[in-house]
Structure 1
Amino acid sequence: MSVDVHPLDAARGTSATPGAGDSTERALRRRARLVVAGLTVLALAATAVYLTVDVRAGWEFTLPFRGRRVAAMVVVGVAIATSTVVFQTLTTNRILTPSILGFDSLYQLLQTSLVFVLGSYALASVGVVEQFGVAVALMVAASLALFLGLFGGGRRSLHLVLLVGVVLGTLLRSATALMQRMMDPSEFQVLQSRLFASFTGVDERLLAASAVVVLVCCTLLWTMRRRLDVVALGRETAVALGVNHRRTSLLVLVVVAVLVSVSTALVGPITFFGLLVANLAYVLLGSHRHALTLPVAALLAVVTLVGGQALLEHLLGMETVLSVVIEFLGGIVFIALLVAGGRR
């Protein structure tokens, strides 16, 4: 009997014995179809509820207003989920997210510097497009300098990139804290609203540009899904199977940097969100294939953001911010993964 067990699932220990390869493959595909179908229904239901429940200002105003928020949540959710899944593939670690490279810290330093230097009143006169462009350009440029300097050279050490990212993140947070302590209290209050992720008031021009960038990046990663499956087996195995590990890793890191930079500049940082949806995707699927985990993680992100925002607005009366709840849940998942890993 032929054996049809995906090598990534076999290496991860998620497949059955070789003799049951065909039945395992069929069961995995059936499970994946059910998961995708269920999440698609949930995403559509959450979107419908969010758009149509408790309409008071008229459909002409409410649908475009809420629709813009939904579009922002979809763009950001897909970007964060996709970037986290492929980043964990490169690092072969399920508790790491791209934020370890210091994206969130750099964004917070940039926002703090703008308020500290210009002041909130002068900053209000700067266009949102210009602020978005500066934030994206700075984060992407810093990422490229880090990747090309530490991974593109002769050392080619991904672990060194992660270590330097952690150190730089700590340095940037310290500089941010110093400026915040020196800041006028009224200016600091204005700054606080810019440091938490918010899907309200997203500019349509920025949303359209971000959607195009995210679509291009996700399409590129989708074309690389089989190569990423091989990369997930480890550097030595990937090289032995004919994959240029260095080039693939560098390309994926650049795409991850663009995705995270765009999503962070659009709505703000959400540190643990990618960790949450990526690990839920692994659990639901029982597989690490990128042809499955990428769409499922993206659907989970949409369900979480749109459904969570609907609950906060329609049931809880906006008593808190969605990003705060996500950070709380993601932190719990992070601790649970650390504890589970320590018991192995």
Structure 2
Amino acid sequence: MSRTLGVDRAPRPAGALRRRRNRVAALAAAVALLVVAVVLGLAVGARPVAFDEVVRILVGATSRDTADAVAVLDLRLPRTVAAIVAGAGLGVAGAVVQAVTRNPLADPGILGVTSGSAFAVALAVGFLGVTSASGWVWFSLVGAGLATVAVSLIGGAGRGGGGPARLTLAGLALGSVLAGITSSIVLADPRRFDAVRAWEVGSLADRGWEPVLTVLPFVGAGLVVALLAARPLDAVALGDEHASSVGVSVPAVRLVSLIVVTLLAGGATAVVGPIAFVGLIVAHAARGLVGPSQPWITGLSALLGPALLLLADVIGRVVAPPGELAAGLVTAAVGAPVLIAIARRRRGVGA
């Protein structure tokens, strides 16, 4: 045994060292993937820009007035940053939801957050005449918050309330109701909602700096709290009795988790719209790569989420030229088969 300052320290088991190396390697690979996704997001589009030219534009070595510089700085850079912010929010929100509900098939939408955001935006556009992204972003955030409060009140009511199953059922029920009302509002006057059509399908096109900067403090705060709450969430994920036995307040952790999901998923939805499956895919992949460790899952999800959303946006730009598919449609096309595969595998394991 090695001695440090007179204290005996046992060497770490080989399995623990190997697991840590694998986790660090997964984190490094996620960083590399995100860098590649960012470069592709800035270079690929209706007007392709060479990678070296992208670098020169970013460092100011090329005139700001060139067509390539305008495409990179004015069009692609804001949507790339929007994808990073929203992807990190959705990815970590998915990790938190799956931990607190103990359901690897859970998604931020399962708690009604995205439905609450869409409902609030529909009210703002349909009845208040709000048509700009900078205007409806606040309604989206408020709608997400109110939906979370409603889910916590409904899921926590009665005997045995507040459990993961009750919260999940409350979120699904409220989300279905809000989605139905939202559809009714939109169908009543479709032309009025032309301005938010791209937002509704999860498009990153024409995303300016204002909505991104508006939600950045909310998403940033959510990421910080999610990292701080990762250890207690580890205990809750193993069961309420286990968490209580190690001194973790289960109701407090659930409350903090709901607030975190509201900040992250609500902020992401406010910028890019109700994009599905990002939280589900990213959190599930992160758990498969680093194992059942919430701090590592949270950190990896914060990297994989932006990478996935950026790659979906890039794919959407190149599959249907000269137009483009919304990133939300691409994630739906990928996420649905992934969800089916996960469900089938879990059923096979359960059998």
Coarse TM-score class (shorter-chain normalised): 0.7 to 0.9
Match of 1:34 in 2: 25
Return closer, same or farther for 1:227/1:327 CA change in 2, 3 Å cut-off: same
1:129 — aligned with what?
134
Counterparts of 1:131 and 1:270, CA distance in 2? 17
Distance 1:218 1:194 in 2: 23
Does residue 1:178 correspond to 2:184, yes or no? yes
Aligned to 1:293: 297
SS at match of 1:105: helix
Q: Say if 1:152 and 1:250, in contact at 8 Å, map to a contact too.
A: no
Preserved CA contact (<8 Å) 1:156 1:246: no
Instruction: Specify which of 103, 107, 113 is matched with residue 113 of structure 2.
Output: 103
Q: Structure 1 residues 308, 134: closer, same or farther in 2, change over 3 A? A: closer
Offset at residue 153 of structure 1 (A): 8.1
Q: Is 1:68 matched up with 2:74?
A: no
Maintained 8 Å contact 2:312/2:327: yes
Percentage of identical aligned residues: 25
Structure number with greater CO (CA < 8 Å, separation at least 6) is 1
Structure 1 residues 1-344: aligned runs within 5 Å? 22-53=13-44, 54-55=48-49, 57-117=67-127, 122-124=129-131, 127-148=132-153, 150-151=155-156, 155-158=160-163, 159-184=165-190, 186-187=191-192, 192-285=197-290, 287-314=291-318, 316-317=320-321, 318-343=323-348, 344=350
Asked if the contact 2:215–2:267 (Cα under 8 Å) also holds between the matched residues in 1, the reply is yes
Q: Distance in 2 between matches of 1:153 and 1:210?
A: 35
Of residues 46-55 and 89-98 in structure 1, the stretch that sits farther from structure 2 once superposed is 46-55
Q: Is the 8 A contact 1:81 1:277 kept in 2?
A: yes
Counterpart code for 1:92:
R
State the number of aligned residues: 318
For 2:13, what is the secondary structure of its paired residue? Answer: helix
CA contact (8 A) 2:114 2:144 kept: no
SS in structure 1 opposite 2:172?
Answer: helix
CA distance in 2: counterparts of 1:315 and 1:171, whole angstroms:
34
| Aligned residues of 1:111 and 1:195 also touching (Cα < 8 A) | no
Q: Once the 2 structures are TM-superposed, how far is the Cα of residue 313 of structure 1 from its aligned partner? A: 2.5
Q: Tell me, which stretches of 5 or more residues in structure 2 are unaligned?
A: 2-11, 50-65
Which 5+ residue runs of structure 1 have no aligned equivalent? 2-20
Q: 1:57 to 1:207 in 2, by over 3 A?
A: same
Aligned CA distance change for structure 1 residues 194 and 312 (closer, same or farther; 3 Å): closer
Separation in 1 of the partners of 2:102 and 2:288?
Answer: 16
User: Judging changes above 3 Å, is the alpha-carbon distance between structure 1 residues 291 and 173 closer, same or farther for their aligned structure 2 residues?
Assistant: closer
**Structure 1 length as normaliser, TM-score?**
0.84
- Cα contact 1:72–1:199 (8 A) shared by 2: yes
Q: Deviations over 1:212-247 (max 9, x none)?
A: 221222112212222221121110001011111111
3-state DSSP of counterpart to 1:58: helix
Q: Deviations over 1:91-132 (max 9, x none)?
A: 1110011211222323333333344435xxx443xx533321
Relative to structure 1, the CA distance from residue 130 to residue 313 in structure 2 (aligned partners, 3 Å threshold; closer, same or farther) is closer
Partner of 1:5: none
Contact 2:112–2:148 at 8 Å: present in 1 too? no
CA spacing shift, 1:331–1:314, aligned 2, 3 Å: closer
How many angstroms apart in 1 are the aligned matches of 2:208 and 2:42?
A: 19
CA shift for structure 1 position 205: 2.6
Alpha-carbon distance between aligned partners in 1 of 2:169 and 2:296, rounded to the nearest angstrom: 30
Pairwise CA distance, 1:140: 0.5
State the Cα distance separating 1:191 from its structure 2 match: 5.1
Distance in 2, matches of 1:173 and 1:144, equals 17
Q: Taking structure 1 as reference, are residues 170 and 130 closer, same or farther at Cα in structure 2, changes over 3 Å only?
A: same
Please tell me the residue identity of whatever aligns with 1:239: S
Instruction: Determine if contact 2:84/2:307 at 8 Å carries over to the other structure.
Output: no
Instruction: State whether residues 97 and 261 of structure 2, in contact with CA within 8 Å, keep that contact through their aligned partners in structure 1.
Output: yes
Separation in structure 2 between the aligned mates of residue 169 and residue 308 of structure 1, nearest angstrom: 25
Normalised by the length of structure 2, the TM-score is 0.82
After superposition, what is the alpha-carbon deviation per residue over 1:223-272, rounded to whole angstroms, capped at 9, x for unaligned? 22222211211100010111111111111111111211111111100121
